[in-house]
Amino acid sequence: MDCTSSTSSARLLFCLAITAILPIVWSAPTSPNYPLSQTKGGLENVANVLVTEAGKLCTEICKTPNLCSSSVEHLLRMDLKLPEINDIESGCLSTKFNKEKCLPKIRRDLLKLQPYLDFLKESMPKNKNIIEFMQVKTISLANTVKHHQENPSEDKEDTTTGITVADMRSKDPWNQNLTSYIILQSIKEYLEKTARALRNSVKVSN
């Protein structure tokens, strides 16, 4: 319909309404990377959803006999160089919480998790959709955490651990499952601490 040629008042009002609405529609975010939750409370909820999904996968893989009580778990966890929140220097622990240190660490570590999630897609093909969901959410969470940093660095930071998917593979199915379990357990623990850190970040901001 030509909005300039009609003399009908009803059509004119309709055209004016459409003209007012179109800029709003065109300006709406369409990128799949657009943060789904802009508030820090919302970020904590996303972290908790990821904790739940990792927990489900842990339960699934622990059906393998004697797998989840292995005495070599601690040593293998160190070899895998998985991101951790254990020391006060990270700024993420409740006793010495430091938002300026903690949020950049969380963002970097969430990006460092991606090769481990790639490995899990290989080792747990029946759960590939859940793991892909976790990948999308961890990347989205990392990007949105950066949005909440007071002075985010624009410099390219190292988000690698030096571990590749090939390094994690094993010809022995039991070892492969053990590696998968340790990765899932570590991711679950990391995201639990991430959720608490994001909660502390809200308290500091208030």
**pLDDT beyond 90 at 140:** yes
Cβ(60)–Cβ(127) below 8 Å? yes
Question: Between residues 32 and 155, which one has the greater pLDDT?
Answer: 155
Domains and CATH numbers, the chain: 1-30 (no CATH), 38-205 (1.20.1250.10)
Q: What pLDDT does 151 receive?
A: 67
Radius of gyration of the chain (CA): 23
**Residue 67 amino acid letter:** L
Comparing 51-60, 70-79, 169-178, the range with the smallest average pLDDT is 70-79
Q: What pLDDT does 82 receive?
A: 92
A 10 A CB-CB count for 147 gives 12
Q: How far apart are CA 132 and CA 6, in angstroms?
A: 52
Q: How far apart are CA 197 and CA 102, in angstroms?
A: 8
Cβ(101)–Cβ(87) below 8 Å? no
How many whole angstroms from its chain centre is CA 114?
Answer: 9
Q: If you search the block for the tokens 């430091």, which residue do you land on?
A: 98
Q: What's the average model confidence in pLDDT over 128-145?
A: 94
Q: How far apart are CA 98 and CA 61, in angstroms?
A: 36
State the Cα angle at 183 between 181 and 187, rounded to 5°: 115
Q: Cα dihedral sign for 139, 196, 165, 174?
A: negative
Banded model confidence at residue 16, pLDDT cuts 50, 70, 90:
very low
Count of CA atoms in the C-beta half-sphere (13 A) of 59:
6
Helices in the chain by DSSP H: which ranges?
A: 9-27, 40-61, 73-79, 99-112, 114-123, 128-148, 165-168, 173-205
Where on the phi/psi map is residue 98: left (φ > 0), alpha (ψ -120 to 50), or beta? Answer: beta
Banded model confidence at residue 13, pLDDT cuts 50, 70, 90:
very low
The predicted-structure confidence for 19-74, as pLDDT tens digits, reads as follows 343 333 323 333 333 334 456 568 899 999 999 999 999 999 998 888 887 666 66
Paired tokens of 107: 């963002």
Q: How far apart are CA 41 and CA 39, in angstroms?
A: 5
**pLDDT beyond 70 at 100:** yes
Cβ contacts of 51 within 8 Å, gap of 6 or more:
188, 191, 192, 195
Cβ(145)–Cβ(43) below 8 Å? yes
